[in-house]
C-alpha cells in the first residue's frame, strides 16, 4: 500500500468522487473489507495512522483479498498530515458519528466529500470533530449502540456515490452475479 499522500483526484480525465477515510483503525478485518469495497467502487481510501495493526497482518490480507492491489489506498502519518493534504485538495470532511443530528440519507453529498470513520474502539477525539465540515449518522433503532465500521462505511459510501452519480458503470455477463 502506498504510504505517501497522492493526488489521484487531479489525474486528467478522472472524475472526482466521494472517498472514505479511516481514523486510526483498530481492526484489520474492517480495514481490509473497506479496501475491497473501495476497490470495487473505484473510490479512494485514506488511512490516518497510527493503525492498530501492521500492513502484513493476515486478517487485513484475508479480508482485502486480491483487491488490495486494485485499491487506491493512501496512508497519512497522522491527522495533521491528512488535514494538510485535504485542505490543499479542497475536499469536504464529513464525519460519521453517533453524535450527529443529520441523517445520511437526508444529507446532500458532493463529489469532493471524504467520509471519515472513527476508530472502532473510541471514535475520534473532539479536535477531529471540530475539524470536520459536517457530521452525519445512520438512522437505527434507539436500543442499538452502533453499526460495524465496515458496514457503516458501505452504507454511507453507497448513498454518496448514488447521489453524486459516481457509481461504477461496470456490467456483468447475463446469468452472473457480482460476488466472490
Q: What is the pLDDT of residues 109-167, one digit of tens each?
A: 999 999 999 999 899 999 999 999 999 999 999 999 889 999 999 999 999 999 999 99
Q: What is the pLDDT of residues 38-49, one digit of tens each?
A: 998 999 999 999
What are the beta bridge partners of residue 116?
A: 21, 95
Q: What are the sequence ranges of the domains in the chain? A: 14-164
The vertex-90 CA angle with 84 and 91, nearest 5°, equals 90
Does the pLDDT value for residue 173 go beyond 70?
A: no
What is the C-alpha separation between 171 and 64, in angstroms, rounded?
22
Q: What is the mean pLDDT of residues 80-86?
A: 98
Cell of 141: 433503532
Q: Which of 123, 42, 35, 127 is nearest to 79 (CA)?
A: 127
Domain 14-164 has CATH 3.40.50.11720: no
Does the pLDDT value for residue 97 go beyond 60?
A: yes
Amino acid at each position: 500500500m502506498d504510504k505517501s499522500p497522492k493526488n489521484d483526484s487531479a489525474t486528467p480525465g478522472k472524475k472526482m468522487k466521494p472517498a472514505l477515510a479511516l481514523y486510526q483503525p483498530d481492526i484489520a478485518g474492517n480495514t481490509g473489507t473497506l479496501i475491497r469495497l473501495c476497490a470495487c467502487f473505484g473510490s479512494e481510501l485514506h488511512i490516518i495512522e497510527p493503525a492498530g495493526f501492521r500492513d502484513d497482518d493476515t486478517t487485513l490480507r484475508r479480508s482485502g483479498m486480491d483487491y488490495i492491489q486494485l485499491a487506491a489506498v493512501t496512508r497519512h502519518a497522522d491527522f495533521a498530515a491528512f488535514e494538510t493534504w485535504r485542505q490543499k485538495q479542497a475536499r469536504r470532511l464529513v464525519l460519521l458519528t453517533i453524535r450527529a443530528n443529520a441523517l445520511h440519507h437526508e444529507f446532500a453529498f458532493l463529489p469532493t466529500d471524504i467520509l471519515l470513520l472513527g476508530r472502532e474502539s473510541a471514535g475520534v477525539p473532539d479536535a477531529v470533530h471540530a475539524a470536520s465540515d459536517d457530521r452525519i449518522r445512520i438512522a437505527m433503532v434507539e436500543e442499538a449502540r452502533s453499526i460495524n465500521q465496515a458496514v457503516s462505511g458501505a452504507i454511507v459510501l453507497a448513498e454518496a456515490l448514488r447521489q453524486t452519480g459516481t457509481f461504477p458503470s461496470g456490467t456483468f455477463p447475463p446469468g452472473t452475479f457480482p460476488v466472490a
